[in-house]
Chains A and B, each alone.
Chain A
Amino acid sequence: MLTRLASAINDVGHCGKTRMLTRIAAVIGCVCHGLAAAGVATLAALVSYVVFMRWVIGQPPHWAEELPQLILLWSTLLGAVACSYHRSHLSAGLLPLVVRSARWLKVFTHIGDVLVLIMLLMITKAGWALAMLTMSQTTTALQIPAGISYLAVPVGCAAMALVQFIHLFTRGDSQ
């Protein structure tokens, strides 16, 4: 993964605009996917540790629920960026059953991409406002700003919006 990332970064400066945009999307997708994967591995380790502490030591850690939930939220929204890059979000697949023309399929895909982009930007703005609003409050167990949890929403949505924007000008992920 690191080699792919390095090659993607390296290519940014050496290729045409479309290729550069594709590479930027690749870097974002790759980094977010790697972070989300690290989050999943951490979740598995943390919950196993909680089970061990509860049954062997008899004293579960005070963050037993709060920390895994925080990681789950961040991991999910970063993983969703990778899904946007790979175009692997679940969809109904009804359009090809209704529309046969390749040209119209492309038109509808672009309309969908634009609508998704607008929605993601609106939620990014709302998420940022919410995160800033709750930064002064602290969480019960970890005593960290509550906004750190909500910050996952604008970060994830902004990254998805950027990938979505790049999809409008490129063919999307080649994988």
Chain B
Amino acid sequence: MTAGALTMLGVFGLGILIDIPIAFALLIAAVVYLTAFAAAPMLVSAQQFAAGMESFTLLAIPLFILAAQLMNSAGLTQKIVRLCMTLVGDIRGGLAVVAVLACMMFGALSGSGVADVIAIGSMLLPAMQRSGYKKGFSCALVGTASSIGTVIPPSIVMIVYGTTSNTSVGKLFMGGVIPGLMLTCALVGVALYVSRKNGWGGGTPSTSREKFRAFIDALPALMVPVLIIGGIRFGVFTPTEAAASACLYALIVGMGLYKNLRLNDIFDCVKATAETSAAILVIIGAAGLFAWGLTYEQVPQAIASLIGELTDSRNSVLLLLTLVLLILGSFMESIAIIIIITPIVMPLLSQYGIDPVHFGVLLTVNLAIGANTPPLGVDLMAACRIGGISVMESLRPLVMMLVAMISVLMLLTFIPELVLFLPNLMDS
């Protein structure tokens, strides 16, 4: 690797270590590289920084965040939780199953793991603790289940990968459906096993009438994934347009149907969205400049040839990438990983005949797992913060959940059809 590339990576690493915000650490590393190695005029820094944020597909990010904020304010989250409670809340370990199902369903609204933790965790963690579930287990479960939100469409992580790699975001969304459901089943299995083994109880049983009522109440929320996935699948919307339609739908449901969304709430949602999406998009712009530097230094080619010398097996390459992503995911923010890693691995994908949609979904699942592994497991950290415990307390119960998720990841790695079946239907 060249001195320029090593300098950039070194400065970025040091910046992260002293807690400089990720976007600024990326920019500092790129500016140091441009200054020290005179690779290009300084104008390039501003041009690449802006170019990284100028994409029609990236518009979907603030719009999906806004849609999730509006739906949360309109009380759709409570209705999803209530539906899950009436359906399975009364069985032994039912509350744990409710947590997983609610996170999966809310993931289909929000597209972000941390948003899931905050919305579902703040409602269910206290209830689980009251029903005797151990805090460490509850937090680990909500953290891992919330990560499914990045795999189930719509997914912000997939939008970023699709934009960076020129891959169809619609196909990535379709590809995330089966893996998301598999992860949900795996975590439901773990939740039931651990809860029953420890004798942790469920809630009170519901009558058929209550179940029906809860279903009708939650129906507008359940229609959101249908609107988004169906709209993209049948070519009615692009992902960005689907996001705008989801915002409009949330407004109609909140103001027209439930009548609990006021102008003040909308204003708060828009303000929160502006800040959250800016924090994400600035990383995307900064990582765009950083990735430009790595590409200029021919790092992708260097890594491709290094891996080519190590192995010529497609599966070994996928396993190697999985290992790298799992390690990176424990230390770095998902969006930054995608923007830096994608240009590096794209030559490898074509060299080894790996489908970019398959890899994109594997990348997303990897990052979902990375979001729960210390030291920087953001979903786990958020769940523990809401649960009022240290991350250390959740580590023991976390192991079984991570094993379940990694098992699903291995299945997805070696059986690409599990990912590609639905995207291929789009072509046919």
Determine whether the beta carbon of B278 is less than 8 Å from that of A91. Answer: no
Do A83 and B275 touch (CB < 8 A)?
A: yes
Given contacts A75-B274, A153-B46, contact A123 B24 (CB under 8 A): no
Give the contact stretch, choosing among B137-145, B188-196, B243-251.
Answer: B243-251
List 12 other contacts, CB 8 Å, given A37-B273, A47-B244, A109-B19.
A34-B271, A40-B62, A72-B281, A73-B54, A78-B278, A80-B23, A90-B333, A91-B20, A122-B45, A123-B31, A123-B46, A154-B46
Complex Cα gap A43–B273 (Å): 12
Separation in Å of the A63 CB from the closest CB of chain B?
Answer: 12
Contact of A95 among B17, B54, B56 (CB under 8 A): B17
CB B241 to nearest CB in A, in angstroms, measures 5
Is A31 engaged at the interface, CB distance under 8 Å to the other chain?
Answer: no
Give which listed residue, A68, A69, A129, A149, contacts B43 with CB less than 8 A: A129
8 Å CB contact of A92 from B22, B63, B248, B271: B22
Residues of A within 8 Å of B275, CB to CB, are 33, 36, 79, 82-83, 86, 88
**Residue ID in chain B nearest A71 by CB atoms:** B59
Within the complex, which residue of B16, B59, B66, B278 is in contact with A69, where a contact is CB–CB below 8 Å? B59
Asked if A89 lies at the interface with its beta carbon under 8 angstroms from chain B, I say yes
Given A83-B279, A108-B18, A130-B47: A94 in contact with B375 (beta carbons within 8 A): yes
Of residues 37 to 81 in A, which have CB atoms within 8 Å of B's CB atoms?
Answer: 37, 39-41, 43-44, 47-48, 50-51, 55, 65, 68-69, 72-73, 75-80
The reply to whether A92 and B53 form a contact with Cβ atoms under 8 Å apart is no
Is A144 in the interface zone, CB < 8 Å from B? no
B binding-site residues for A, Cβ under 8 Å: 15-24, 27-28, 31, 35, 42-47, 49-50, 53-56, 58-59, 62-63, 66, 236-237, 240-241, 243-245, 247-248, 267, 270-271, 273-275, 277-283, 285, 331-333, 375-376, 381
Complex CA gap A111/B58 in Å reads 33
Q: When the two chains form the complex, which single residue of B17, B46, B56, B279 contacts A65, counting CB atoms closer than 8 Å?
A: B56
Q: Are B375 and A97 in contact (CB under 8 A)?
A: yes
Contacting B at CB under 8 A, from A105-131, are: 108-109, 111-112, 115-116, 119-120, 122-123, 125-127, 129-130
Q: Are A51 and B279 touching (Cβ within 8 A)? A: no
When the two chains form their complex, are residues B46 and A127 in contact, meaning their CB atoms are under 8 A apart?
A: yes
User: A34 CA to B275 CA in the complex, in Å?
Assistant: 10
Closest residue on chain B to residue A124 by CB atoms: B46
* Listed A/B pairs (12) with beta-carbon separation below 8 Å: A40-B62, A40-B274, A50-B244, A76-B277, A77-B278, A79-B277, A88-B275, A89-B21, A89-B23, A93-B381, A94-B376, A111-B18
Q: List B contacts of A75 (CB < 8 A).
A: 62, 274, 277-278
What residues of chain A lie closer than 8 Å to B21, measured between beta carbons? Answer: 89-91, 116
Q: How far is the CA of A148 from the CA of B347 in the complex (A)?
A: 35
CA distance A124 to B54 in the complex (A): 18
Question: A21 at interface (Cβ–Cβ under 8 A)?
Answer: no
Which A residues touch B267, using CB under 8 A? 37
A44 pairs with B19, CB closer than 8 A:
no
Give chain B residues whose Cβ lies under 8 Å from the Cβ of A65.
56
Interface residues of A in 135-175 (CB under 8 A from B): 149-150, 152-154
Q: A165–B275 Cα gap in the complex (Å)?
A: 20
Once the chains are docked, how many angstroms separate the CA of A48 from the CA of B54? 19
The answer to whether A89 touches B279, judged by C-beta atoms less than 8 angstroms apart, is yes
Contacts of B244 in A (CB 8 A): 44, 47-48, 50-51
Size of interface on A: residues with Cβ below 8 Å to B: 60
The answer on a CB contact under 8 Å between A112 and B282 is: no
Enumerate the 5 nearest inter-chain pairs by beta-carbon distance, A residue then B residue, closest first.
A79-B278, A89-B21, A47-B244, A127-B46, A36-B274
Cβ–Cβ < 8 Å partners of A122 in chain B? 31, 35, 42, 45
CB-based nearest A residue for B60: A47
Which of A68, A75, A115, A152 has the most CB atoms of chain B within a 10 A radius of its CB?
A115
Contacts of A89 in B (CB 8 A): 21-24, 279, 282
Question: Given A47-B240, A92-B332, A97-B375 in contact, is the A68-B19 Cβ separation under 8 Å?
Answer: no
CA A34 – CA B278 in complex, angstroms? 13
User: Chain A contacts of B240 at CB under 8 A?
Assistant: 47
Is the CB–CB distance between B19 and A92 below 8 Å? yes
Instruction: Confirm or deny: A6 has a beta carbon within 8 angstroms of a beta carbon on chain B.
Output: no
Chain B residues whose C-beta falls within 8 Å of the C-beta of A129 in the assembled complex: 42-43, 46
Smallest CB–CB gap between A24 and chain B, Å?
A: 20
Kindly identify which residue among B46, B53, B245 contacts A72, using a CB–CB cutoff of 8 Å: B53
- Bound Cα distance A109, B17 (Å): 11
- Report chain A residues within 8 Å CB of B277: 40, 75-76, 79
In the complex the two chains form, is A68's CB within 8 Å of B59's CB? yes
Determine how close the nearest CB of chain A comes to the CB of B14; give it in whole angstroms: 10
- Least CB distance from A40 to B in Å reads 5
Residue of A whose beta carbon sits closest to that of B374: A97
Would you call B50 and A112 a contact (CB within 8 A)?
Answer: no
A102: Cβ under 8 A from any B Cβ: no
Q: Would you call A48 and B247 a contact (CB within 8 A)?
A: yes
Q: For B31, what are the chain A residues with a Cβ–Cβ distance below 8 Å?
A: 119, 122-123
Tell me the minimal C-beta distance from A93 to chain B in angstroms.
7
**In the complex, residue of chain A having the shortest beta-carbon distance to the beta carbon of B280:** A90
CA distance A135 to B285 in the complex (A): 22
